[in-house]
């Protein structure tokens, strides 16, 4: 089975000798790792041990988004979101009008970071 180091769920890597079949929760794990990479610019840790929360790399992230990433990337499939609809629901709810925030503020923030990074690299 092929997978991308750092993005694949533990059950896809055979971590811990677990005999768990990959399913939608494995895809949600990869989504969480990808989302974390998008908002921090830091590739997922491929070394054993607990990774740092996304907020350590980007303190401007909302607590809600950090929690969504954390829940997507739980080591145990039972602790993750069970279906993609749950993630979509929380992303919509967490980014909605609360505490003066506009919907999808984190996306706008990532776009700004990309533009700033591109301007420094040029």
Evaluate if residue 88 carries a pLDDT over 60.
yes
Evaluate if residue 6 carries a pLDDT over 90.
no
Evaluate if residue 19 carries a pLDDT over 80.
no
To the nearest 10°, report the CA torsion of 33, 41, 43, 57.
-80
Evaluate if residue 108 carries a pLDDT over 90.
no
In 3D, which of 101, 61, 70 has the Cα closest to residue 92?
A: 101
Sign of CA dihedral 59, 37, 15, 21: positive
Evaluate if residue 94 carries a pLDDT over 60.
no
Burial 73-95 (b: 16+ CB within 10 A, else e): bbeebeebbeeeeebeebbeebb
User: What average pLDDT is seen over the chain?
Assistant: 77
How much of the chain exceeds pLDDT 90, in percent?
30
Cα 60 to chain centroid distance, Å, stands at: 15
Q: How far is CA 40 from CA 2, 36, 52, 70, in A?
A: 25, 6, 11, 14
């Amino acid at each position: 089975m092929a997978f991308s180091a750092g993005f694949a769920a533990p059950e896809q890597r055979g971590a811990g000798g677990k005999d768990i079949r990959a399913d939608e929760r494995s895809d949600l794990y990869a989504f969480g790792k990808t989302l974390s990479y998008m908002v921090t610019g830091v590739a997922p840790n491929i070394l054993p041990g607990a990774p740092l929360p996304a907020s350590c790399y980007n303190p401007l992230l909302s607590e809600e988004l950090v929690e969504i990433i954390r829940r997507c990337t739980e080591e145990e499939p039972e602790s993750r979101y069970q279906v993609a609809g749950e993630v979509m629901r929380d992303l919509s709810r967490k980014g909605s009008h609360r505490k003066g925030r506009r919907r999808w503020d984190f996306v706008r923030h990532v776009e700004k970071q990309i533009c700033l990074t591109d301007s420094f690299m040029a």
